[in-house]
Structure 1
Amino acid sequence: MPPENAHMSSGRLATFMVGQGPKRRASSAKKRGGAALLRWPHAKPSPEELAKSGFYYVPSASSPDNCQCFACGVMLDGWEPEDIPALEHHAHRTECAWALQCYIKHKFDIDEPIDEDPMSEEYVKGREATFEGWPHEGKRGWKCKVAKMVEAGWFFDPSPSMEDGVTCAYCQTEIGGWERKDDPM
């Protein structure tokens, strides 16, 4: 189960910053030879790259670099320095909405042409799936409903400072603080 705030990149990142491992009292661990807390073992990929790609850190003694996606639950380990988390995530779980958005963002970041149709059924469903928990969906009279947000090309990308933050995967514009009359188009 993901941490309570695993949908936020900063919450995911925090899981890489603290030692993970068995919960034993310090005195018990010393007496038994102790199970050391596990820390992220690689310089690359970085915890920041992994967190942005939807992963939080869930190591075990047999898999000290195991990560899990907060959205789809896929678990990946065996990370290599040349691995790009956004691409690995998408390759292993193409139906994950978050993986799809990260894949698009990665292509944009490296100036690779995005040949896919942003209004294709796959991309529309992917954006729509990110809006679980959209805070304005149930509000009467609000224009920024999920269907309009998705049609406008937004995906839900909340953060501690913007609970209703959205990002356009194609131009990387990020906005939040939506109000009743704001039109997503």
Structure 2
Amino acid sequence: MAHSSQDGNYEADGEVGWSAIGDRLNSFQHFPCSEEISAERLARAGFYFTGEADKVRCFSCHATVEDWNRGDTPLKRHQQASPGCKFLSCAHGLRTSSLVLSSAYDEVAESREFLLRTGGVEDQTIYPTVPHMKSEEARLNTFRDWPANAPVQPDDLAAAGMYYCGTDDNVQCFSCGGFLGGWEQDDTAWDEHAKHFPNCFFILGHDAGNVPLTTPRPRLNGRIASVETFEGRLDSFRDRQHPIDPERLARAGFYSTGEQDRVFCFRCGGGLKDWTPEEDPWEEHAKHYPGCSFLLAEKGGQYVNHIQLRYPNGVHSRSSQNGFSSHEQAQKVRQSEIAQKAVDMGLDPIKVETTILQKLRQNHEGYASVEALIQDIRAQECASDVSERVEDPIMKLEKLQREKLCKVCMDSDISTVFIPCGHLVTCQKCSESLDKCPICCATITQKIKTYNA
């Protein structure tokens, strides 16, 4: 099983306590310039707050930076202060020779990422943590010195959003920034990524800016190249019995492994087993591997989003055991006696399944009685109700005010609606430079000015 970290393993010379991004982020609770610069952007750039004025320090190279102003870019200022920082070199791909970064990276993409994510907009376009690695081809090219004995192949890692950091078998996701290393036999890139970083927007199938290969990926591990074609995948089911029509499975990108009813997707490497006759291959593909480039190309993002909305809970909790998803575990949970009793008593089947799976993930044990399950479900519902009732009026007002602000400049009120998508995101001035909606990426054909009542 691959191990994970948010920042990987870097030399910190006694500052190991700040190597975790969560710890660095927590240090900014009393940061005096939180309105001018995002604490998350500072933490992602390797900084933690020293407690002195607005001075921050890198956990890896120990360089300090202060005197922050609105519009500053943490990564750029970090590199200016310490161009040889090992953390910048591996985590963000910044080398001494690349001091002048493209404006699309350090000024626009990173700034918009912060502004959009902190503006209260739902389902916005997500800008990747490492923009220069959003191309699958660029990620694949980093694996030239990948260890020959590593059990996971470069093409599978690149397809799963990972690129090689250049040390041992450590890789990083271009989208969420998560690190994986210590790969073992039977690990699969996609499942380990999803297991350790289940909230990664690339894994969840959102538009994270990924640019997939335009031609089929060469198989570096000796896998039969014919599975790249529909005919080849269909041929893999020859003389085998399967609960699902092999033609439907092959069209959905799956080929047979030759073991029972187990199948793999030729593109993303995601595996499924223990099928039932009523299941739809495309739907199962979208439920468990929504970021698969083949799936998105064939069915479209709207279809994948529709499936994800139908199954909002529990579908992304995957197990890497044998390289297959938790399809089998979730099915067993649904069919368990306790789950059936709870559903028969009128509880929401999705809440029942999700609560049981959470219990299994926490202590590897299920519920001993249906009463204990119901008690936990009721407790979750009560906690949710209480949090909604006790919302601070001042915080609620501030939230409403933020929702009215342009999500690009965060200064002027939103005043432009984009056609045909209908999203309200920016003020008139900021809308002038946009050709695509920053929420859904739809091409803007018309911009209509709106007026507050």
Q: TM-score, normalised by structure 1?
A: 0.50
Q: Which structure would you say has the larger RCO, counting Cα contacts within 8 Å and 6 or more residues apart?
A: 1
Inter-partner Cα distance in structure 2 for 1:173 and 1:8: 12
Deviation at 1:41, TM superposition (A): 1.0
Could you tell me which of 94, 105, 108 is aligned with 1:107? 105
- Counterpart of 1:45 in structure 2 is 37
Give the aligned residue type for 1:56: Y
User: Conserved in 2, the CA contact under 8 Å of 1:155 and 1:166?
Assistant: yes
- Counterpart of 1:167 in structure 2 is 172
Inter-partner Cα distance in structure 2 for 1:85 and 1:74: 12
**Structure 1 counterpart SS, 2:69:** coil
| Residues 1:143 and 2:153 are matched in the alignment | no
- Counterpart of 1:56 in structure 2 is 48
Structure 1 107/13 Cα, relative in aligned 2: closer, same or farther at 3 Å?
A: same
| Residues 1:176 and 2:174 are matched in the alignment | no
Inter-partner Cα distance in structure 2 for 1:143 and 1:183: 12
Computed over aligned residues only, the root mean square deviation of the Cα atoms, in angstroms, reads 4.3
Could you tell me which of 54, 76, 92 is aligned with 2:81? 92
Structure 1 93/165 Cα, relative in aligned 2: closer, same or farther at 3 Å?
A: same
User: Conserved in 2, the CA contact under 8 Å of 1:165 and 1:174?
Assistant: no
User: Conserved in 1, the CA contact under 8 Å of 2:25 and 2:40?
Assistant: yes
What do residues 82-136 of structure 1 show as CA deviations (whole Å, max 9, x unaligned)? 101011111211111222333659828828778xx98xxxx99xxxxxxxxxxxx
Deviation at 1:167, TM superposition (A): 1.2
**Structure 1 counterpart SS, 2:172:** strand
Give the aligned residue type for 1:167: Q
| Residues 1:13 and 2:13 are matched in the alignment | no
Inter-partner Cα distance in structure 2 for 1:96 and 1:173: 17
Q: TM-score, normalised by structure 2?
A: 0.23
Inter-partner Cα distance in structure 2 for 1:165 and 1:103: 14
Deviation at 1:177, TM superposition (A): 7.2
Structure 1 103/46 Cα, relative in aligned 2: closer, same or farther at 3 Å?
A: farther
Structure 1 176/102 Cα, relative in aligned 2: closer, same or farther at 3 Å?
A: closer
Inter-partner Cα distance in structure 2 for 1:84 and 1:41: 17
Structure 1 54/85 Cα, relative in aligned 2: closer, same or farther at 3 Å?
A: same
Inter-partner Cα distance in structure 2 for 1:90 and 1:167: 20
Give the aligned residue type for 1:41: P
- Counterpart of 1:33 in structure 2 is none
Give the aligned residue type for 2:41: E
Aligned length: 125
- Counterpart of 2:214 in structure 1 is none
User: Conserved in 2, the CA contact under 8 Å of 1:57 and 1:67?
Assistant: yes
User: Conserved in 1, the CA contact under 8 Å of 2:163 and 2:171?
Assistant: no
Larger Rg: 2
Inter-partner Cα distance in structure 1 for 2:93 and 2:180: 22
Structure 1 78/58 Cα, relative in aligned 2: closer, same or farther at 3 Å?
A: same
% same residue: 20
What do residues 42-96 of structure 1 show as CA deviations (whole Å, max 9, x unaligned)? 1121111100100000022xxx100000010001100111101011111211111
- Counterpart of 1:155 in structure 2 is 165
Inter-partner Cα distance in structure 1 for 2:64 and 2:179: 30
Q: Hey, which bits of structure 1, 4+ residues long, moved more than 2 A?
A: 1-5, 99-114, 152-156, 171-179, 181-185
Give the aligned residue type for 1:143: A
Give the aligned residue type for 2:36: K
Deviation at 1:179, TM superposition (A): 3.6
Structure 1 2/58 Cα, relative in aligned 2: closer, same or farther at 3 Å?
A: farther
User: Conserved in 1, the CA contact under 8 Å of 2:172 and 2:179?
Assistant: yes
Structure 1 155/113 Cα, relative in aligned 2: closer, same or farther at 3 Å?
A: closer
Gapped regions of structure 2 (runs ≥ 5): 1-12, 95-100, 110-126, 144-148, 152-156, 190-219, 221-453
Gapped regions of structure 1 (runs ≥ 5): 18-38, 125-141, 157-163
Inter-partner Cα distance in structure 2 for 1:6 and 1:70: 6
